Amino acid sequence: MGLGGIPGLLRVERLPSGGLGLGALVTLSALAREPQIRSLYPMLSEAAAAAASPQIRAMGTLGGNLLLNTRCCYYNQSGAWRSSLPVCLKAGGDTCNAIGGGRKCFAIFSGDLAPSLLTLGAQVQVTSPRGERALAVAELYTGDGVRPLALEPDELLTGVELPAPSEGAYSRYFKYRTRGSLEFPFASVAALIDVDRSTCLCREARIAIGAISSKPFLLDGLSDLLRGKSLVEPLIEEAADLAWRQSKPVENIAGVSARQRRRMVRVFVRRALSEASGRARTQEEA
């Protein structure tokens, strides 16, 4: 039986907190074009518009996208192809073919929506025969490529709650891919940067990195580095270095090296901070 008949799963509603409540069955194309999301959370509509193809976005849902399985160029292959290599951890074996050994599976979580929801500090609602619970998007992902989701098999994701938007903050999603059309991200960056328009000093900066590891993650220490400071060149470079140090992809996407994916994280973080800074200065002058 489908989930379509369950009331509330298609909701897009303003919450008393000022945030937005989204049902799990809202499609990616609806997220991309919904006016409230475009104006309040631009990075989320950009991420939805960048996912997959128009046909898939018309069918693919918010819930399904958040709960995608992890991918790896050594795993997403036919049985015949895989039989030429040792059985990998994700296929029930005891090695990782991407790094040639080890006990950890590095399959990548490649959903386009999760980094933005992580940056925005969203929560997901989950229901099961035991009742309902809410968990932060950060807690939804385990970081284990074999079992990437912290949900039980009988749990249904019913919706997502976004906190009240940061008025006027810079909000953008960057997706690294080699084709402009249908392609999972090779690396992605979701940036929310709040710069005071009168002083041009950074109030807060939250950036999540996606598609380079088994879970999307927030850059650690970024706000501490930038808060209260002017986003000028040496500091932007320092922040881009911080992102580069915390990003450690392995060679598990065909056609693009881990080195290049890591480099693109640095490029996007630098670009986000430069754009946020430039925009605040333009507004201050106007």
Ligand X SMILES: Cc1cc2nc3c(=O)[nH]c(=O)nc-3n(C[C@H](O)[C@H](O)[C@H](O)COP(=O)(O)OP(=O)(O)OC[C@H]3O[C@@H](n4cnc5c(N)ncnc54)[C@H](O)[C@@H]3O)c2cc1C
Q: Which residues bind ligand X (CB under 6 A)?
A: 24, 28, 51-52, 56, 59-61, 63-65, 67-68, 111-112, 156-157, 182-184
Nearer to ligand X, 127 or 260 (CB): 127
| CA–CA separation, 91 and 74 (whole Å) | 10
What minimum distance in Å lies between the beta carbon of 62 and ligand X?
Answer: 8
Nearer to ligand X, 64 or 93 (CB): 64
Nearest to 65 by CA among 105, 122, 106, 13: 122
What minimum distance in Å lies between the beta carbon of 197 and ligand X?
Answer: 33
Instruction: List residues bridging with 160 in a β-sheet.
Output: 22, 124
Nearest to 122 by CA among 154, 165, 156, 155: 165
What minimum distance in Å lies between the beta carbon of 67 and ligand X?
Answer: 3
Nearer to ligand X, 63 or 249 (CB): 63
Q: Give the three-class secondary structure for 271.
A: helix
What minimum distance in Å lies between the beta carbon of 109 and ligand X?
Answer: 10
Nearer to ligand X, 36 or 127 (CB): 127
| CA–CA separation, 206 and 219 (whole Å) | 7
Report CA torsion sign: 62, 64, 66, 71: negative
Nearer to ligand X, 29 or 246 (CB): 29
What minimum distance in Å lies between the beta carbon of 177 and ligand X?
Answer: 8
What minimum distance in Å lies between the beta carbon of 86 and ligand X?
Answer: 26
The residue sitting closest to ligand X, measured at its beta carbon, is 64
Nearer to ligand X, 99 or 150 (CB): 150
Nearer to ligand X, 52 or 258 (CB): 52
Nearer to ligand X, 157 or 187 (CB): 157
What minimum distance in Å lies between the beta carbon of 114 and ligand X?
Answer: 8
CB atoms within 10 A of CB 274: 15
What minimum distance in Å lies between the beta carbon of 216 and ligand X?
Answer: 11
Sheet holding 217-218, edge to edge: 170-176, 187-195, 202-210, 217-218
